[in-house]
Amino acid sequence: MDADISAIAALIGDPTRAQMLWALMGGLALPAGELAMSAHVAPQTASAHLSKLLEGKLLSAESQGRHRYYSLASAEVGAIIEALAVLAPRRKAVQQQTPESNPLRFARTCYNHFAGTVAVQINDALQERGLLTPAHDSYYRITNQGRVWFENLGLDVVGLESNRSGLARRCLDWTERRYHLGGALGNALLQRLFDMKWLARVDKARAVRVTTKGQEHLFKLLGIEFRR
């Protein structure tokens, strides 16, 4: 084996560093002080851990005035954390999750496509209506009815078919433990939802919110209900 995966595993496997990486999954760059608080360690301890994560190329850092802000080094690092989250045992929920208490779980970007509770509901509804059907490996097949539906939404399905990432891929959601829609179709759908202002970004984080317009149309098209 040429790649030394044990080195990366050791960096992520430390509970303090794992908590710091998890705190950065929202997409915002955070200063060392906030990361220290999130991991419940002293600033000096946090500094030592952050240096190791930087050296291991899992984090990047940018200085602004007196503060140094840390963020995940790449989308690949986030993908590793999400993959581990899928396999990790779930902690007992201390309270019911809501859009306000856990916006990242409710609706977020999975880098280029839509993820979270709402995205899983959309994916389920597309299959229930016969617009997508499971295909070989980890992909979906778009039915003829589905092609018409996506094209009416403004997506160029024919143009997306040549994409190397695959047209419609099943992507396991790390919070819901069920699938949302990835691949070229998932990427294009996310961008279209932003363009139509059915989704809006929450600051610079990966969390997104479903607008009032989006709630109305998603209920009308797919029967997805939102708490009022």
Percentage with pLDDT > 70 across the chain: 89
Q: Give phi and psi for 151, each to the nearest 5.
A: -65, -35
Percentage with pLDDT > 90 across the chain: 43
Q: Is 221 exposed, middle or buried (0-12, 13-18, 19+ CB in 10 A)?
A: middle
Tens digit of pLDDT at every position of the chain (228 positions): 566 788 888 999 999 999 999 888 877 788 888 899 888 888 899 999 999 999 999 999 988 777 788 988 987 888 888 888 877 776 554 444 444 445 677 888 876 888 889 999 999 999 999 999 998 778 899 999 999 999 999 999 989 987 766 789 888 887 787 889 988 999 999 999 999 999 998 866 678 899 999 999 999 999 998 875
Burial 180-203 (b: 16+ CB within 10 A, else e): bbbbbbbbbbbeebbeeebbeebe
Calpha distance 53→60 (Å, rounded): 9
Calpha distance 96→201 (Å, rounded): 23
Half-sphere exposure of residue 87: CA atoms within 13 angstroms, side-chain side = 5
Q: What is the DSSP letter of 100?
A: T
The reported pTM is 0.65
Calpha distance 46→35 (Å, rounded): 7
> Average per-residue pLDDT in the chain?
85
pLDDT, residue 193, reads 96
Domains of the chain, residue spans: 5-87, 103-222
Lookup: tokens for 29: 């760059």
Question: 5-87 architecture in CATH?
Answer: Orthogonal Bundle (1.10)
